[in-house]
Amino acid sequence: MSTSDLYLDEKELDSIGLTPEHEEIIKATLPLVGSKINEITPIFYSRMFEAHPELIADTFNRGNQKQGAQQRALAASVATFATMLVDPEAPAPVNLLSRIGHKHVSLGITKDQYQIVHDNLFAAIVEVLGEDVVTPDVAAAWDSVYWLMADVLTDFEYDLYRSARVEPGDVFRATTVVDRRDLPGDIVHFTVRAAEGSADLPGHLPGQYVSVGARLPDGARQLRQYSLVRGGSAAGELSFAVKRIRATESAPEGEVSNWLGENVQVGDSLEVTLPSGDLVLDTQATNPVVLISAGIGVTPMLGMLDSLAASGSARTVVALHADDSAEVDAFGAARTGYAAGLAEGSAITWYGTGTPDAELQGEVREGLMDLSAVELPEGASVYICGSNGFLQFIRTQLDERGVAAADVHYELFAPNDWLLDA
């Protein structure tokens, strides 16, 4: 698959629209629906999981459902799409739809599941707003919004399946763990190969991720996404890093990450999907690259740096990373080593505390990442990965530096990343 296959074409959105009657209804009811999102979504998911318990067991992230994050993300995506249809000034949510499409492909989502979502979502809307509000005309208008969005997504997702040369939904592969390394910062690095008798795992593009399935003690197969830490030009092996998530006052422990860290050893079997994701380094470009990450958000950047190093790239590359302390920067030596080995590479690392590893290269600074004192090359493609708060913190700094939004590409390890384009 080439990078040109990864993105939804904005022209696909130019040709869709509502009838004048439906457009007026959506304009009139969008504020009401938006104000009731937090009431609609819990009822929607409750109804859907009661009717289809296999979805919460095997497809949806149970941890995110408990916190409501996934619910808000889905609702916001529908509202954003509706806004685009009725507001000529609203930007086309191309990035939002592309990210949703890639996530769906990594989960093996197929067209029939859109009908399940539709039926339960609209039942929840009627339950919250009442049949006196959701008249047949109102229902028909919102039905049009939903299926327009669903058609855009399924067309894009089926294009991704075709590019991967698989049937829709056929993304799960049986693999065997061939290497496990326990690293600082509660991180475990796994490498897998195709199970004996299976076809080799495919190559991937630098920056992509896989979904990993964990068969938990209660029988559920929970899926989580983990970025691939190698460049991916060669087929055969996939390497990814898992950070254990400890429980806090506001969030539960990581159900899958902790299970993987505590149970999976070399020789064990794992279910892994084909690579997906659109935060991908354009390997054909020659402009400068700025890689910005925090914590475990460094993992897709490692794949990009590995690719740049393997090709002997002459591009100007600036690798910027922040971590709570030097002791938890598990990939510090690898990240800065890649950058130092490039003809025009450099690295700066920010630590809150701690003494840098002796193998760390480049400059080390204290405190929070501050781009005001960093020389950013003109015309660079900027890639960011980290938490929601980190992304917004960095995007504000990039705006202040005059970096064009079109040059900034990002990934968050959180379900509500789609809200950031709204």
Residues designated as active site: 114, 157
Token pair for 88: 């000529």
Q: Please, which residues bridge with residue 209 across strands?
A: 227, 276
Token pair for 348: 């700066």
Which helix H or strand E contains 182, and what residues bound it?
strand 172-183
Give yes or no for a contact between 313 and 281, defined as CB atoms under 8 angstroms apart: no
Secondary structure letter of residue 9 according to DSSP: -
Number of continuous H segments (helices) and E segments (strands) in the chain: 13, 12
The whole-angstrom separation of Cα 367 and Cα 247 is: 25
Neighbours of 345 (CB within 10 A): 23
Q: How far is CA 248 from CA 65, 130, 252, 275, 363, in A?
A: 17, 38, 6, 31, 33
Collapsed DSSP state (helix, strand, coil) of residue 311: coil
The whole-angstrom separation of Cα 399 and Cα 403 is: 6
H helices of 311-410, where? 332-341, 388-400
Q: Please, which residues bridge with residue 347 across strands?
A: 319
Give yes or no for a contact between 271 and 212, defined as CB atoms under 8 angstroms apart: yes
The whole-angstrom separation of Cα 204 and Cα 277 is: 10
Amino acid making up residue 64: N
Pairing relationship of beta strands 363-366 and 345-353 according to DSSP bridges: parallel
- In 44-171, beta strands by DSSP E: none
The whole-angstrom separation of Cα 108 and Cα 342 is: 37
- Closest by CA position to 210, among listed 222, 197, 223: 223
Q: Please, which residues bridge with residue 269 across strands?
A: 176
**Please, how many CA atoms are within 13 Å of residue 36, restricted to the half-sphere of its CB?**
17
Amino acid making up residue 40: I
